[in-house]
Structure 1
Amino acid sequence: MNDYTHIIVSSILFAITLYAITKIGGKKQLSELSFFEYISGITIGSIAGEVIMGLDGNFFHGVLAIMIFGAFTYLHDFMGIKSKKFRDVLEGKATVLIKDGKVLEENLKKEKYTIDELNSLLRQKNVFKTADVEFAILEPKGDLSVLLKKELQPLTAKDLNLQVAPEKEPYTVIMDGNILNDSLTSAGKNRGWLDMELANLGVTLDNVFMGQVDSFGKLTIDTYDDQFEIPSPQPRKLLLAMMNKCQADLELFALGTESSEVKQMYNKNAEKLQKAIQKIKPFLNE
């Protein structure tokens, strides 16, 4: 076997082997690696490179070495799932660095972090004062989890006792100028609706790079021509205007009738409609 053939065969063989080991390891290999997995990855890559370019070596020995390291990595993940003590020993535990706005210096020294490094991690979380932090925990993978004090946390709909509709995933119905019929059906829309929406926006299908339908049934598009200004549809504001008009009409009808019973009915319904408008106004103004 000449040198070129050796390199080609070795590269293909190791590519298949590494791909198989990565698939066995799962998606975790592609997202965040533990310290042990990081070392294993470097070692496996070094072995592969050495055997591929080592023309006098036996590449089957390299495959065996990679399989051994891959087996260790798989065993590490398997034992980590089965035993918390095993995870704590090999991956470590989370460490509290800030509590009640105060830095825990002993824990900081234990993790070999300086105050500058801590401040840098906090700034990455958009936190610039340690006094604003209720808890800051250094995770085993090196990430810093930060919980702000209650008075500094942003308000949510739950804090305001507002009932909001659940947000669903958007459906991509147009891609590269082509309609994705399955996604369009999943969004509860049809081709006629899509053609009408595109006409309202003043664009043609072949000029649309991507189109998505959100959970409210609104179509948003991105065109190939970045200079093209897409008019913003206003169905929610139009609905709000119609509701305000109906509420004003009810009050006008109440003023125009002589019957006290009818007047009371109009005023009662106008008041109910006004309350409904106040509740949904923040969502219709978006």
Structure 2
Amino acid sequence: MPDWIDVLIRGILCIVVLFMMTKLLGSKQIAQLSFFEYISGITIGSVAGEVITGLDKNISHGVIVILLFGGITYAVDFFSLKSKKFRDFAEGKSNVFIKDGKVMEDSLKKEHYTIDDLNALLRSKNVFKVADVEFAVLEQNGDLNVLLKKENQPLTPKDLNIKVGNEKEPQTVIMDGQILDNSLEQAKQTRQWLNIELEKLGVTLDNVFLGQVDSYGQLTIDVYDDKINVPSPQLQPLLMSMLKKSQADLESFALQTDAENAKKMYTKTSKKIQEAIDLLTPYLKG
């Protein structure tokens, strides 16, 4: 039998054996490796390489193996797109570890996970109590996705019926002490505006390591000298404070005056400012 056919057969056999071993060891081999499992994986791969190519150092055999692995990988991806059953077999299925707040011990055993492994995965998701979890599933890639119980989920503005403004990506307008004109243009600002803002913060351009403009047109910077305390931007909180003060003053004026026309004017204006405050709150929080 020709050598290249022998290498081809050995390659296919090794792929099948390695695949079955990986399926047997579970998803833990993919993502959550211990030191022993890591060493074991390297050793198995090295041994498989030697078994496939042999020890004759024939470069053509190595090329055959590379093409074989590449072709099989492509074929698996192709058939995975065409068939869900094949995809489940080749890539595995997600496995539920916690359901309705209860740990699925059989699922843990199937994937060779201990309760310590589960707790470690939960801690990586900032969850420190199993009792806080409603549902947790181990994905095919070994990552654990967690759904907290409703009472343990953080509140969102939607839960409180609060409208919030849309956020856009910040524009980096200064990098390594250099102004990026394209980003500054996308932020709809000018160099003159940037120089004024830097002057307000008490820093010079050559001392700025990074400068960004957010979607509200506010500049934040990071300087080279970490000993310099850069004041936080106060434009938005200050504007909100001024609006609230004006609204409160108008209410006070309405209560103090005896003139009906003036009282109505103060009350009406106060309501308009309150409407403006409600409208601008999502944009001027801070």
Q: TM-score, normalised by structure 1?
A: 0.74
2:119 maps to 1:119:
yes
- Once the two structures are TM-superposed, the CA of residue 145 in structure 1 deviates from its matched residue by 0.8
Q: 1:182 to 1:82 in 2, by over 3 A?
A: farther
Classify the secondary structure of the residue corresponding to 2:97. Answer: strand
Equivalent residue number for residue 149 of structure 2: 149
Give the aligned partner of residue 71 of structure 1.
71
1:76-225 to 2 correspondences below 5 Å: 76-225=76-225
Higher relative contact order (CA 8 A, sep 6+): 2
Kept after mapping to 1: 8 A contact 2:220/2:233? no
- SS of 1:232's partner is coil
Quick check: 194-203 or 264-273, which moved more? Answer: 264-273
Residue ranges of structure 2 left out of the alignment (5+ in a row): 1-28, 31-40
Give the equivalent residue in structure 2 for 1:233: 233
TM-score normalised by the chain length of structure 2: 0.74
Distance 2:45 2:192 in 1: 57
Shift of 1:245: 2.8
* Structure 1 residues 78 and 219, CA gap change in structure 2 (3 angstroms): farther
Q: Which amino acid aligns with 1:184?
A: L
CA distance in 2, matches of 1:198, 1:270: 36
State the percentage of identical aligned residues: 60
**Cα separation, 2, equivalents of 1:175 and 1:78:** 44
Counterpart of 1:65, as a letter, is V
Aligned residue type for 2:204: T
Write the distance in 1 (CA, Å) between the matches of 2:120 and 2:211: 39
Q: Which moved more, 1:256-265 or 1:126-135?
A: 256-265
State the AA in 2 paired with 1:80. Answer: S
Aligned partners of 2:170 and 2:61: how far apart in 1? Answer: 49
Is this contact kept in 1: 2:219–2:233, CA < 8 A?
no
SS of alignment partner, residue 109 of structure 2: helix
Counterpart of 1:62 in structure 2 is: 62
Can you list the C-alpha shifts for 1:20-72, whole angstroms capped at 9, x where unaligned? xxxxxxxxxxxxxx96xxx9xx969x97xxx9xx9x84545534432332232
Are the equivalent residues in 2 in contact too, given 1:100–1:131 (CA < 8 A)? no
Secondary structure of the 1:162 match is coil
Amino acid at match of 1:78: F
Letter in 2 for 1:202: G
1:125 CA displacement? 1.5
Distance in 2 of aligned mates of 1:265 and 1:77: 72
Unaligned runs of 5+ residues in structure 1 are 1-33
* Alpha-carbon distance in structure 1 between the residues aligned to 2:279 and 2:189: 28
8 A contact 1:208–1:221 mirrored in 2: yes
Greater shift, 89-98 or 238-247, is seen at 238-247
Whichever residue aligns with residue 134 of structure 2, its letter is: E
CA distance in 2, matches of 1:191, 1:80: 53
Report which stretch shifted further, 229-238 or 251-260. Answer: 251-260
Whether the 8 Å contact between 1:138 and 1:144 is mirrored in structure 2 is yes
**Structure 1 position 285, deviation (Å):** 4.8
3-state DSSP class of the match of 2:74? helix
* 1:191 partner amino acid: R
Distance 2:86 2:201 in 1: 58
How many angstroms apart in 1 are the aligned matches of 2:63 and 2:202? 59
For residues 87 and 139 of structure 1, do their structure 2 counterparts lie closer, same or farther at Cα, with a shift above 3 Å needed? Answer: same
* RMSD after superposition: 3.0
Structure-2 separation of matches of 1:108 and 1:115? 8
Against the structure 1 CA distance between its residues 229 and 60, is the aligned structure 2 distance closer, same or farther, given a 3 Å change threshold?
farther
CA distance in 2 between counterparts of 1:148 and 1:123 reads 13
Q: How many residues of Structure 1 are paired with residues of Structure 2 in the alignment?
A: 243
What amino acid is the match of 2:202? Answer: G
